[in-house]
Structure 1
């Protein structure tokens, strides 16, 4: 496991396109590559449109999230299962770190849901090949910061980028004052 697994990647103001002002939870990072989920890109589609059996159980705002530009024909369920022994995960889940895990979306929802504290569904994911993410971090495309318990299921995802940066005890908190248009900075 690399040090970025379980951490947040926060897009720098100059990171554009699919990752503009995004916050990515790194699910896995090793010498073969990395993958994660963009936490703050809700879609205008309810879970009911794709996986109706899970709609009653998703955490607000009850919509699908864009997890990233890779594998956009796949869905991933991110869950919070605090206090569970990683060696004995709840049925239908794979615990990753710190009470965060993935749920098997083919599992019967009523068997899995009683164990979950929070749950969101993501379409696609963010993925990097061997050495790619390390290179992007070295070039300054991402800030790597610690994750707090509520980040993965933040109430107002539109403010997550700002909220994560503003709590940093460094000059990173000043980045939130930059204009969304880099030409105005």
Structure 2
């Protein structure tokens, strides 16, 4: 299967070959940064058991927090599509931004001016050192695709990984329908 060039804003779909990897099995990652120093991304299809108010009690919010990846899992990160409301954001790709002034985010949440389709919070991130992600692509760990979703923040379903594999057809369809834990079969 031909690979799309690695650039920020692309989606990484976990290959079935890494199903034993507890951090990344069945993951879809938004690549937020990719340069000669390394790569950073956030897993967009794995909600945690937490909501924002659980992690930051002074914020009265029931927005779901997602498992962003195995690096710095004690830190909270966010990606959004409202740079006109959140200063100091970094553009990832058309209409998707990373970070910004968290105090402003807190105020917007208190005023109920952010919808769940505007922002997504993550505990931790996925990170690769220089050339590491490229090496993983060559060992069939990831499929790189263009992000064709107007609003990735509307993606919350864990079946998103399966849906992506089904589009690839062939043996991917078999893997897409395999049980998450084959030993329970």
1:51 to 2:56 alignment: yes
1:22 to 7, 19, 27: 27
Kindly report which structure 2 residues correspond to 1:160-175, keeping only aligned pairs within 5 A, or say none. 160-168=160-168, 171=170, 174=173, 175=175
C-alpha distance in 1 between matches for 2:127 and 2:68: 10
Residue 157 of structure 1: SS of its match in structure 2? coil
- The corresponding residue for 1:133 is 133
Q: Residues 13 and 178 of structure 1 are in contact (CA less than 8 Å); yes or no, is this contact kept in structure 2?
A: no
Kindly state the Cα deviation for residue 24 of structure 1 after the two structures are TM-superposed.
0.7
Any runs of at least 4 consecutive aligned residues in structure 1 with deviations exceeding 6 A, and if so which? none
C-alpha distance in 2 between matches for 1:98 and 1:126: 21
Q: Residues 14 and 182 of structure 1 are in contact (CA less than 8 Å); yes or no, is this contact kept in structure 2?
A: no
Superposed CA deviations along residues 43-81 of structure 1, whole A, max 9, x for unmatched, are 11110022346554x7xxx22111000011211111123
Kindly state the Cα deviation for residue 147 of structure 1 after the two structures are TM-superposed.
1.2
* CA separation of 1:53 and 1:7: change in aligned 2, threshold 3 A: farther
Q: Residues 33 and 39 of structure 2 are in contact (CA less than 8 Å); yes or no, is this contact kept in structure 1?
A: yes
Q: Residues 39 and 127 of structure 2 are in contact (CA less than 8 Å); yes or no, is this contact kept in structure 1?
A: yes
C-alpha distance in 1 between matches for 2:47 and 2:54: 14
* CA separation of 1:49 and 1:181: change in aligned 2, threshold 3 A: closer
C-alpha distance in 2 between matches for 1:163 and 1:105: 34
CA-based RMSD? 3.0
C-alpha distance in 2 between matches for 1:105 and 1:90: 6
Residue 23 of structure 2: SS of its match in structure 1? helix
Q: TM-score, normalised by structure 2?
A: 0.77
1:40 to 2:41 alignment: no
Residue 137 of structure 2: SS of its match in structure 1? helix
Q: Residues 86 and 101 of structure 2 are in contact (CA less than 8 Å); yes or no, is this contact kept in structure 1?
A: no
Consecutive unaligned residues of structure 1, counting only runs of 5 or more, are: none
- The corresponding residue for 1:103 is 99
C-alpha distance in 2 between matches for 1:54 and 1:17: 30
2:89 to 79, 88, 93: 93
1:70 to 2:71 alignment: yes
Q: TM-score, normalised by structure 1?
A: 0.77
Q: Residues 86 and 104 of structure 2 are in contact (CA less than 8 Å); yes or no, is this contact kept in structure 1?
A: no
